[in-house]
Chain A
Amino acid sequence: MKGLLIKDLYMAFRHCGVLLVIALVFIGVSIADADNALFAFFPALFAGVVPLTVMSCDEQCKWNEYADGLPYSRAQMVSVKYILGLLCFVPLCILSVAGFMLRAAVLQQSVEAAQLCADAALLFAVNLLFPACTLPFFFRFGANKGRIAYYAVIGAFFAFVAALGISSFGAPAAEPIAIPAYAAYIFLGCAALLFAISWLLSVWFYRKREF
């Protein structure tokens, strides 16, 4: 599967490398806007887009049909996209948390370690949920129709954020609904479980898909 991974990492860097620059801009914005730390955490949210972008490129150049002639199973072709998602969001999550800490240091704000860990767990969970909810649609219907699921998940995420009234992470917001730390970890566990189910579902869909 190494070959597939090398190809996908190259594609991710080639087509999504600009996300790193945008991530740094967002961290800068979070420092400039002392009232809103959410910007520092945005970069991690980009990670979910990476496997979807690579899948769209694959479909455009007919890589999927070509790869059927290579010594890879359909399960491997699916798995590489989930692994790519993990490989992208872990560093971006770390960058986000580092950005947040830099922001706190620059603005001389105190950071509550326990709250920061819970927020990071929440961030990881959201990043797991994003590909978990969208990738099965991409594998079942292809990139074009799968995009509908992508927009639906984005919409649902922002509706969720708005409903909770979350305006800042790591520090108390104006009047947010407080999310207890344990809830963040439970949420992360559920997201991980959903990610695993989504992985298996995508393998099942893709094995049946005919080009």
Chain B
Amino acid sequence: MNENAIEIHDLTKKRGKFSIQDLSLTLPKGCIMGLVGENGAGKTTLIRLILGALQKDGGSIAVLGRESGGKDFRSVKEDIGVVPDEIGFPYSMNAKLVGSVMRRTYKKWDEALYEKYLADMSLPASQPFKDYSRGMKMKLGIAVALSHRPQLLILDEATNGLDPVARDEAVTAFGEFTRDEGHAVLISSHIVGDLEKICDYIAFLHKGKLLLCEEKDALLEKYGVLRCPKESLAGLPEGAVAGKRESPYGVEALVRRDLLPEGMPVSNVSLEELFVFMVKGNGAAETASFEEDFFA
């Protein structure tokens, strides 16, 4: 039995000026992987490649042990729940009609479970989808994604637009989903705090390249933040500084704890800080180019 929900090797895909380059990552079953990246980093492109909705230029993608986009991939999708960044139900349909469409779409559709989700999430079954708030639309997307009892959940910015309480409920639901060791979740989000709560693995994507993909706890253990005068950084061993932010008052640097001399005052780093340091703190050219893209 395959122990990985997703296995990607040397994936390449070019779309106009943007490209995903030699991306490899593995999501083991029973785990939650957070995909972090700024707008345009390639998160949605990667997710659509995983779903076989885009044709890859090179490399391989296996989902639940089958080649993505292959002939029998339709049956694999029976075991995947997807919540895209925009839930594409027709505006005039309501949750009840959505349920009747999905009942005829998924072989394992559980109508009672769907109705339970609608009730738990306080979603009015007869209200047209166009009258739902963004948060309600997302909740309906999540309810649909979970009601056919999938093995793999793929969520593209699924918690965006939810109020803090609903976000917490959704995040808890995803955590509960992976209690079953055969289940896995791939979730992309700008809200790194949510990912920090629930993820086992973190993948940082920047301009189509995977900056890193590691276990979250190991990552947070490996890196720390060092605040010191600018000249103190020069004396550190090569490779110890992964990123830095300079200010008139000194330097904040993302450092690898294992490469630092003993006794240096290193504070813990959050995932958000880690990501910002990696993207913005890797040299002036990189920073300038990122800011150009980000604020374009």
Q: Are B74 and A69 in contact (CB under 8 A)?
A: no
Q: How far is the CA of A208 from the CA of B69 in the complex (A)?
A: 12
User: Of B92, B100, B103, B105, which is within 8 A of A70 by CB?
Assistant: B105
Q: Are A69 and B51 in contact (CB under 8 A)?
A: yes
Binds A, one of B83-91, B203-211, B236-244, B271-279: B83-91
- B111 CB to nearest A CB, Å: 13
At the interface, yes or no: A35 with Cβ under 8 Å from chain B? no
User: Of A7, A10, A71, A211, which is within 8 A of B78 by CB?
Assistant: A71
Q: Are B87 and A66 in contact (CB under 8 A)?
A: yes
Q: Are B105 and A71 in contact (CB under 8 A)?
A: yes
Chain A residues within an 8 Å CB radius of B48:
65, 68, 211
Question: How many A-B contacts are there with CB distance less than 8 Å?
Answer: 82
Chain B residues within an 8 Å CB radius of A18:
none
User: Of A15, A61, A208, which is within 8 A of B89 by CB?
Assistant: A61
User: Which residues of B101-135 have CB atoms within 8 Å of chain A's CB atoms?
Assistant: 101-106
Chain A residues within an 8 Å CB radius of B55:
208, 210
Q: Are B105 and A63 in contact (CB under 8 A)?
A: no
A-contact bits for B89-100, CB 8 A (1 contact / 0 none): 111110001001
Chain A residues within an 8 Å CB radius of B78:
71
- B292 CB to nearest A CB, Å: 26
Q: Are A62 and B88 in contact (CB under 8 A)?
A: yes
Chain A residues within an 8 Å CB radius of B185:
none
B-contact bits for A1-13, CB 8 A (1 contact / 0 none): 0111011001100
At the interface, yes or no: B138 with Cβ under 8 Å from chain A? no
User: Which residues of A59-103 have CB atoms within 8 Å of chain B's CB atoms?
Assistant: 60-73
User: Of A7, A72, A73, A211, which is within 8 A of B90 by CB?
Assistant: A7
Q: Are A62 and B86 in contact (CB under 8 A)?
A: yes
Chain B residues within an 8 Å CB radius of A57:
90-91
Chain A residues within an 8 Å CB radius of B154:
69
Chain B residues within an 8 Å CB radius of A14:
92
Chain A residues within an 8 Å CB radius of B54:
210
Q: Are A68 and B51 in contact (CB under 8 A)?
A: yes
Given contacts A71-B105, A72-B105, contact A63 B88 (CB under 8 A): yes
At the interface, yes or no: B82 with Cβ under 8 Å from chain A? yes
Q: How far is the CA of A61 from the CA of B91 in the complex (A)?
A: 7
Given contacts A7-B90, A69-B84, contact A2 B104 (CB under 8 A): yes
- B22 CB to nearest A CB, Å: 20
Is chain B's binding surface mostly helix, strand, loop or mixed? loop
Q: Are A65 and B105 in contact (CB under 8 A)?
A: no
Q: Are A6 and B86 in contact (CB under 8 A)?
A: no
Q: Are A58 and B90 in contact (CB under 8 A)?
A: yes
User: Which residues of A189-210 have CB atoms within 8 Å of chain B's CB atoms?
Assistant: 208, 210
Closest to B75 in A: A71
A-contact bits for B180-197, CB 8 A (1 contact / 0 none): 000000000000000000
At the interface, yes or no: B257 with Cβ under 8 Å from chain A? no
Q: How far is the CA of A211 from the CA of B49 in the complex (A)?
A: 11
User: Which residues of B1-35 have CB atoms within 8 Å of chain A's CB atoms?
Assistant: 15
Given contacts A3-B105, A63-B90, A211-B48, contact A72 B84 (CB under 8 A): no
At the interface, yes or no: B173 with Cβ under 8 Å from chain A? no
Q: Are B105 and A61 in contact (CB under 8 A)?
A: no
Q: Are B88 and A73 in contact (CB under 8 A)?
A: no
Q: Are B93 and A10 in contact (CB under 8 A)?
A: yes
Given contacts A7-B93, A10-B93, A72-B74, contact A65 B102 (CB under 8 A): no
Chain B residues within an 8 Å CB radius of A61:
88-91
User: Of A6, A69, A72, A210, which is within 8 A of B100 by CB?
Assistant: A6
User: Which residues of A94-139 have CB atoms within 8 Å of chain B's CB atoms?
Assistant: none
Chain A residues within an 8 Å CB radius of B52:
68
Q: How far is the CA of A66 from the CA of B102 in the complex (A)?
A: 12
Q: How far is the CA of A64 from the CA of B88 in the complex (A)?
A: 8
Apart from the given pairs A61-B90, A70-B105, 6 other A-B contacts in the complex at a CB distance below 8 Å: A10-B97, A61-B91, A63-B88, A65-B84, A69-B80, A69-B84
Closest CB pairs A-B (n = 7): A66-B88, A69-B82, A3-B105, A68-B53, A3-B104, A62-B88, A71-B77
Q: 24 interchain pairs (CB within 8 A)?
A: A7-B90, A7-B97, A10-B93, A10-B97, A11-B90, A57-B90, A57-B91, A60-B91, A61-B91, A62-B84, A62-B86, A63-B89, A63-B90, A65-B48, A65-B53, A66-B82, A66-B86, A68-B48, A69-B77, A70-B77, A70-B105, A73-B74, A210-B15, A210-B54
